[in-house]
Structure 1
Amino acid sequence: MVSEVLSGLLVKILESKGKTRDFVLREFDKKLFRAIVENNPKRRPRRVQEYKYFMLMSMLWSVLRNIDRGIISHEYLKRAVQTLVNGALLGNKEQEDANRKFKEQYGTAPPAFVVISPTMACNLHCKGCYAASHSGARFNLSYSIVKRILQEIHDFWGARFAVISGGEPMMYKSDGKTILDIFNEFSDMFFLMYTNGTLIDEEKARRMAALGNITPAISVEGYEKETDERRGKGVYKKVLQAFENLRKYGVPFGVSITATRHNAELLIEPEFYDFYFDEQGISYMWIFQYMPIGRGIDTQLMPTPEQRLKMLERWEVCLKEERRFVADFWNSGIVSDGCIAYGRPGGYLYIDWNGNIMPCVFVPYYVDNIKEIFAAGKTINDALFSEFFKKGREWQLRYGYEYGAQPGNWFMPCSIRDHYDNFKRHIASMVKPEDENAKVALEDPSYHKAMVEYDEK
């Protein structure tokens, strides 16, 4: 009942203007605060619930500002309300039925979404790429496999949201189809796509606007200097052109940033957020603190504990004072009740271009492969119950997911980055590495030592 009331108010907010919207917005704000913070059905610490409330309200305010600026089109908004608001965020009876059936069969709730990297190919060659992607890569998931993955999570989990990563998703081609054809086929789902942005021309932006169920998160490393140093000369100008194309056709977009020891200080400056939110018109910002995997592993690139604390303080200002939607992985672990990997209820799993099924984009180890699972007559659900995934979820529970008012430190929620010794000793037994880089990391004593020392700081 509460979700239905909030859903109705949210739709009214997005569809109204002026004093009417102001009135409905105040009502929504009060009811959301009451539902999340005061009622608090899972008995989480009040501070945890307050972060969730501020996060949701900052998301709404970021979108409303860009609607008022005219850089999110009303046509896009109408379609997004159906897919993102009514589907992915608030759900419907069809989704509730799928969730109930899953619980009856498996004794637990399903994950909420998947992250799929359908291709390893990329037109850039970025330093430290977690996926070690490059233009010569030919590893692809077939269109039929991607389609079946999405159909199964849609039907079995009631999922109406998915994340597309890479490689560069805009380079994906299979059976004459592109990634935009996937979005078109699953028109009742909403997609977040991580992209370098260099291939988003006017025609691509126009088509995204027509689809109304996709938002691109475009990678930057800071400003032009930082971005071109890591991604290649001239890339930043192409990114700014992509921003312009998306604004022209009214598609909401955001940026994705890898925080390292070298650019962390930049991410603390207020002017950085002013530039991207106010001048460039982004609707959200994802900050991923560097995880030493992939190409050119370097544990010294991780932000220092002192930098993490400063970034946490800056994130709080973004949410509570500036009402800007910023998610900092992993400082924002508090709003998701900790780690959401390993197919946790309400969480996700990751499938790469080879079909390997991993707990997380930043945990490059696997047991099962989706192509092999399908060939054996099984479904994606079977991958959720490998010993690897079950051990990961058991750790999540012990670290506080099941304890309500007494969780662990959700500002350090990552099973591999913040708890590496435990990960290697108790979770990652009998796993296969995604690639040679992951194999080296798992077997290298110096890597183990550096990760443990980082965790203990």
Structure 2
Amino acid sequence: MALKNKVFSLAVNTAITNRIFRNIASQKLDRYLHKAFLAAESNALPTMLEKRYQFVSAMLQGIKNNLDKGYISPATMKKMLSVFIGEDLKTDRLEKKNNAREIYFQKYGEYPPAFCVLSPTQACNLNCDGCYAVSDETANHRLSYETVRHIVRDVHDIFGSRFMTISGGEPFIYKDSGKTLLDLFEEFNDMFFLIYTNGTLITKEVAQRLAQLGNVTPAISVEGYQHQTDERRGTGIHSQVVDAMANLREAGVPFGISVTATKKNVNILLDDYFYDYFFGQLGATYMWQFQMMPVGRGKELLDLMITPRQRVELYHMWEKLIEQKRYCVADFWNSGALTEGCLAYGRWGGYFYINWDGKMMPCVFVPFYQDNVNDLYAEGKTLADGLHSKLMKNGRKWQHEYGFENGHHRENILMPCSIKDNFDNFRKNILPDEAIPENPQAEVIRTDEEYYRFLTEYDRELSHLTEEIWQKTYLA
């Protein structure tokens, strides 16, 4: 094993630093990964393992392309990989992570989540239609810096995780006690952070700081091209986003794109040129796709949700992107094969969400909670205590019954979402009476019958359209 790790590390280092031998080293890495994925001890189906390999292979291809173009600095890339991947090959760090996971298992009878999504502030300098966070520049809710540090320390020490996602609001607005998130990233320099941002505050100076830190990658939100982005986010925002990407390319920081699929832009997302533009011309390394969810300000925008048929078309587009185009794209509903289904509720390998008020929720798109980190910390408890509420346990029970970790029984992995794809079950079996809505808009999820009829009909149609794909592509 030690020899394999050394060979792997050498290939990674060569692919990053040596332009002449990069192609050869990248091809060796790709073959190594393909063999490793298909030989993995896992309950996953062969097609699922193949798609995971294709996704990771596409990410490596994107990194290689941007290294070749000079859009990613080799020095920054080495720093990132030493945090995110390379250091895990060191025995002492791996033992610390595994020890934390085993201690958690011994105490709770299950393994901890892999990461946490944290929104330290609700404030945002934009006011986008359909924002799940109901954010704007007047919002003043935020966590104290000490609470944010406490959360990250729990994730690091109790869960043994070295990865976190930061969302918002707009994360680059956050400031408390003279500290910003850049100070947090510097303190926790053995962790890797993915930060969702509108990009408007990524100046040349911020980009250079991110390059120096080497443990942060921004995922910048777009809606399509200039018209679509400016229509939802405000006039001139697309231009600022393009400038931010230029600043990151100049500093050598790898970045990605975050896009929300709606009826207004779905045709753009079904066109190859959209991906050629952001990956080929603007230098994105990865892309996360979301779908308009009717939560937050989105509740009033049910008509903007893509149809089940459009969702299936996006699924086939995703298959093409990772297999043929080799663009690293993940759709958080259509790409359930990558994650063994729903990642929420603090499940093993999954995550949970904490907002700017400290409310612990199963997911960014499940706006209900039972515990607040401020209360937990005041009582001398930890994040682990908040993962064992009835809401969180109900969600994990459903995940197990649905077959996400069961090699002998599986439901349709193309309908992995507990709330959007299985809404009737969510209301009846997951959402307990004692769960508190995050905000007034969330209460309609539990009580509004029009909302219930809309989503249950959506689920019936989606099931009809995807069951044959599930049976023939994955189970055959």
TM class by shorter-chain length? over 0.9
The 8 Å contact of residues 359 and 438 in structure 2, kept in 1 or not, is answered as yes
* Cα distance in 2 between the residues matched to 1:99 and 1:173: 32
The 8 Å contact of residues 15 and 21 in structure 2, kept in 1 or not, is answered as no
* Cα distance in 1 between the residues matched to 2:375 and 2:15: 44
Q: How does 1:210-221 map to 2 (within 5 A)?
A: 210-221=212-223
The 8 Å contact of residues 73 and 250 in structure 1, kept in 2 or not, is answered as yes
Deviations 1:410-454 (A, max 9, x none): 111000000011001100012100001101332111111111111
**Greater displacement, 99-108 / 225-234:** 99-108
Secondary structure of the 2:190 match is coil
1:416 and 2:419 equivalent?
Answer: yes
* Cα distance in 1 between the residues matched to 2:397 and 2:89: 26
Quote the residue 1:148 is aligned against. Answer: 150
Deviation at 1:89?
A: 9.8
* Cα distance in 2 between the residues matched to 1:43 and 1:340: 16
Deviation at 1:247?
A: 0.7
Secondary structure of the 1:257 match is strand
Deviations 1:103-140 (A, max 9, x none): 22222111111000000000000011010001011100
* Cα distance in 2 between the residues matched to 1:149 and 1:423: 28
The 8 Å contact of residues 140 and 354 in structure 1, kept in 2 or not, is answered as yes
Quote the residue 1:52 is aligned against. Answer: 52
**Greater displacement, 186-195 / 87-96:** 87-96
1:384 and 2:382 equivalent?
Answer: no
Instruction: Supply the AA of the counterpart residue of 1:15.
Output: I
The 8 Å contact of residues 11 and 28 in structure 2, kept in 1 or not, is answered as no
Deviation at 1:12?
A: 3.0
Q: How does 1:38-437 map to 2 (within 5 A)?
A: 39-87=39-87, 92-297=94-299, 298-404=301-407, 406-429=409-432, 430-437=434-441
Instruction: Supply the AA of the counterpart residue of 1:276.
Output: F
Against the structure 1 CA distance between its residues 384 and 142, is the aligned structure 2 distance closer, same or farther, given a 3 Å change threshold?
same
Deviation at 1:185?
A: 1.0
Give me the identity figure in percent: 46
Instruction: Supply the AA of the counterpart residue of 2:250.
Output: K
Quote the residue 1:454 is aligned against. Answer: 458
Deviation at 1:403?
A: 1.6
Deviation at 1:354?
A: 0.2
Against the structure 1 CA distance between its residues 278 and 439, is the aligned structure 2 distance closer, same or farther, given a 3 Å change threshold?
same
Quote the residue 2:466 is aligned against. Answer: none
* Cα distance in 1 between the residues matched to 2:64 and 2:448: 49
Deviations 1:322-363 (A, max 9, x none): 111001111011110000100010110000000000000011
Instruction: Supply the AA of the counterpart residue of 1:338.
Output: G
Moved >6 Å (runs of 4+): 88-91
Q: Where in structure 1 are there 5+ consecutive unaligned residues?
A: none
Deviations 1:15-58 (A, max 9, x none): 34356433433333233222222x24123211111111101111
Secondary structure of the 2:335 match is helix
Q: Where in structure 2 are there 5+ consecutive unaligned residues?
A: 462-476
The 8 Å contact of residues 5 and 89 in structure 2, kept in 1 or not, is answered as no
Deviations 1:87-108 (A, max 9, x none): 5799722212211221222221
* Cα distance in 2 between the residues matched to 1:176 and 1:397: 44
The 8 Å contact of residues 400 and 406 in structure 1, kept in 2 or not, is answered as yes
Secondary structure of the 1:173 match is coil
Pairwise CA RMSD of aligned residues? 1.7
* Cα distance in 2 between the residues matched to 1:239 and 1:19: 33
Quote the residue 2:471 is aligned against. Answer: none
Against the structure 1 CA distance between its residues 26 and 237, is the aligned structure 2 distance closer, same or farther, given a 3 Å change threshold?
closer
**Greater displacement, 58-67 / 22-31:** 22-31
Deviations 1:381-410 (A, max 9, x none): 111111111110010111112222542211
Against the structure 1 CA distance between its residues 121 and 78, is the aligned structure 2 distance closer, same or farther, given a 3 Å change threshold?
same
Instruction: Supply the AA of the counterpart residue of 2:415.
Output: M
1:445 and 2:449 equivalent?
Answer: yes
Quote the residue 1:12 is aligned against. Answer: 13
**Greater displacement, 14-23 / 292-301:** 14-23
Quote the residue 2:34 is aligned against. Answer: 33
Deviations 1:165-198 (A, max 9, x none): 0000011010001111111111111100000011
The 8 Å contact of residues 222 and 257 in structure 2, kept in 1 or not, is answered as yes
Instruction: Supply the AA of the counterpart residue of 1:423.
Output: F
* Cα distance in 2 between the residues matched to 1:384 and 1:10: 39
* Cα distance in 2 between the residues matched to 1:299 and 1:349: 25
* Cα distance in 2 between the residues matched to 1:248 and 1:29: 28
Deviations 1:365-395 (A, max 9, x none): 1010001000011011111111111110010
Secondary structure of the 2:196 match is strand
The 8 Å contact of residues 318 and 325 in structure 1, kept in 2 or not, is answered as yes
* Cα distance in 1 between the residues matched to 2:386 and 2:330: 28
The 8 Å contact of residues 120 and 167 in structure 2, kept in 1 or not, is answered as yes
* Cα distance in 1 between the residues matched to 2:11 and 2:387: 33
The 8 Å contact of residues 217 and 255 in structure 2, kept in 1 or not, is answered as yes
The 8 Å contact of residues 9 and 28 in structure 1, kept in 2 or not, is answered as no
The 8 Å contact of residues 165 and 193 in structure 1, kept in 2 or not, is answered as yes
Instruction: Supply the AA of the counterpart residue of 1:236.
Output: H
Secondary structure of the 1:216 match is strand
Deviation at 1:317?
A: 1.2
Secondary structure of the 2:371 match is coil
Secondary structure of the 2:229 match is helix
Deviations 1:138-168 (A, max 9, x none): 1000000000100111011111110000000
* Cα distance in 2 between the residues matched to 1:35 and 1:257: 31
The 8 Å contact of residues 331 and 411 in structure 1, kept in 2 or not, is answered as yes
* Cα distance in 2 between the residues matched to 1:65 and 1:73: 12
* Cα distance in 2 between the residues matched to 1:360 and 1:10: 37
* Cα distance in 1 between the residues matched to 2:309 and 2:414: 13
Aligned residues: 456
Secondary structure of the 2:393 match is helix
* Cα distance in 1 between the residues matched to 2:230 and 2:273: 20
